[in-house]
Structure 1
Amino acid sequence: MRSVQKLANDEWQPIQFYNLQYGDYFRMFDNITPVSDNGKHIFIATSSPYYNDEGHYKIDCETY
């Protein structure tokens, strides 16, 4: 199961994926394994979550 944490007040706090907002720093886990992009585990939201063509939530982001 995938979980999401948002950085708020210098602490990682659980958040529902659909509650992320543009500019949020976040990280995701598949069970206990961090989701990464080229070894980077922290992302910055460059959009708010939206549904893709398959009906799944998606968010545009960059690595931090």
Structure 2
Amino acid sequence: MITDSELYRLAIFLGSAAMVLIILYHFFEVNADEDEREAVKEKAPLKAGPPSTTASTKTR
């Protein structure tokens, strides 16, 4: 069985690791080149949704 102190240390460790990973992700995202960001956007397929209707195209 896990003790309270072990659970506390595990929670502190996992929380700290999550925060470090979040900070690293943001650091790399901010410092990424614009060309790389555009290349990733171009590769992502666009999802087809329902056609949008505006007030001027609706039939009454």
Instruction: Assess same fold via TM > 0.5.
Output: no
Greater Cα radius of gyration, structure 1 or 2? 2
Q: Greater helix share, 1 or 2?
A: 2
TM-score by length of 2: 0.17
TM-score by length of 1: 0.16
Higher relative contact order (CA 8 A, sep 6+): 1
